[in-house]
Amino acid sequence: MHFTYEPLPTRVVFGAGSREQLAAETERLGIRRALVLSTPGQAERAEELAAQLGDRAAGTFSGAAMHTPVSVTEDALKRLQELGADGLVAFGGGSTTGLSKALALRTDLPQLILPTTYAGSEMTPILGETQEGRKTTQNTPKVLPETVIYDVELTLTLPPAVSASSGMNAIAHAAEALYAQDGNPVVSLMAEDAIRALAGALPVIVKEPQNLEARTQALYGAWLAGSVLGSVGMALHHKLAHVLGGTFNLPHAELHAALLPHNIAYNAPHAPEAMHRIARALDAENAALGLYEMNKKLGNVPALRDLGMPEDGIAQAAAQALEKPYPNPAPLEQDALLELLRRAWSGQTPSSQTPEEQR
């Protein structure tokens, strides 16, 4: 057995009520004037965090947006410079974390993240930015947050529908980690446990949003999923999600949920061990169908067309996915990709054919 595993150095503070450690953690990072980031919908909570920080808060910026538009980052950078901030505190989901990372890339300031969803990007050195309808990603330690505070109480107000799609987004990270080109046994253990924790918790959360035990398990699973996302490379599923999200501005988590079963089906013949582990974690006989059925159980939108993707965008998306492909277990073939996208666009069940059989 030969493998390489390099844990990332992010400090994790996990537990109900752990947001009370915010001031101590900013002090630990040497932050004297933090810029508190959020989306417009979380502006009030951002102000509350700034008040909690007291003299350690420089101010707030509540313009974070989906897919991290460069124009928003430029506005936030002006605000940061005007206030003389020397650190970043991000409150929210992947949009806010993305903005924090984009600012860290440009300033090298320390970041402290308080996640309120299951996005997982807070555990990665990956940044995706959108400009002129194209989403590009890069991997650099400059954008890896220094500290993440996982307070399960911050997820109790996350609506059931958002919890469901965000949770499937996290499962996507773990599923692709199981067949990553640079995978290893440690990552595989974490990935399978992430899927198991999320698959068990999400159906409970949809019915009982205030269930603290289920919320804790889901956040634990999201942390594991984010950790493996930051440790190994992703494959076709994430490439397509980046293409579709950046080109058509589709909602990030819902897009991941709708796409995932079809990408897993595409790769299934070429990654049997990964499929076995995914199915085992889901307590299902088939990995792709198990994910498709989980989407139905959770009430996630199954069809890309219902998320706003135009039918005439299918060919464009397939072409872009082939331009700079990510390493993937199954060969990337145009006809097979078109079939995958047609099924995802219409919300059909995942194909049971291999890419070779679809030719």
- Over residues 127-157, the pLDDT tens digits come to 999 998 888 989 999 999 999 999 999 999 9
Q: What is the mean pLDDT of residues 195-201?
A: 98
Q: What is the mean pLDDT of the chain?
A: 95
Q: Which residues does residue 60 pair with via DSSP β-bridges, in sequence order?
A: 36
Please state which of the four CATH numbers 3.40.50.1970, 3.90.550.10, 3.40.50.150, 3.40.50.720 is assigned to the domain occupying 11-155: 3.40.50.1970
pLDDT at 159: 97
Residue 32's alpha-carbon distances to 37, 56, 179, in angstroms, are 16, 5, 43
pLDDT at 355: 46
Q: Does 183 score more than 70 pLDDT?
A: yes
pLDDT at 4: 86
| Pair of tokens at residue 352 | 């049971």
pLDDT at 53: 97
Structural domain boundaries in the chain: 11-155, 160-358
pLDDT at 358: 46
Closest by Cα among 319, 282, 318, 316 to 297: 282
Residue 231 · residue 120 · CB < 8 Å: no
Helix, coil or strand: residue 300: coil
pLDDT tens-digit series, residues 218-245: 999 999 999 999 999 999 999 999 999 9
Residue 4's alpha-carbon distances to 113, 229, 232, 233, 357, in angstroms, are 28, 15, 10, 13, 35
pLDDT at 164: 98
Instruction: Give the burial class of 20: count Cβ atoms within 10 A of its Cβ; 0-12 exposed, 13-18 middle, 19 or more buried.
Output: exposed
Q: What is the mean pLDDT of residues 179-183?
A: 96
Q: What is the mean pLDDT of residues 241-260?
A: 95
Q: Does 329 score more than 90 pLDDT?
A: yes
Provide the residue type at 301 as one letter: V
pLDDT at 353: 52
Q: Which residue has the tokens 């999600």?
A: 241
Q: How confident is the model at residue 2 (pLDDT cuts 50, 70, 90)?
A: confident
**pTM of this structure:** 0.93
Topology agreement, domain 11-155 and domain 160-358? no
Neighbour-count burial for 105-136, b at 16+ CB within 10 Å, e otherwise: bebebbbbbbbbbbbbbbbbbbbbbbeeeebe
Q: How confident is the model at residue 351 (pLDDT cuts 50, 70, 90)?
A: confident
pLDDT tens-digit series, residues 278-319: 999 999 999 999 999 999 999 999 999 999 999 999 999 999
pLDDT tens-digit series, residues 103-119: 999 999 999 999 999 99
Residue 277 · residue 188 · CB < 8 Å: yes
Looking at CATH, the fold of the domain delimited by 160-358 is given as: Dehydroquinate synthase-like, alpha domain (1.20.1090)
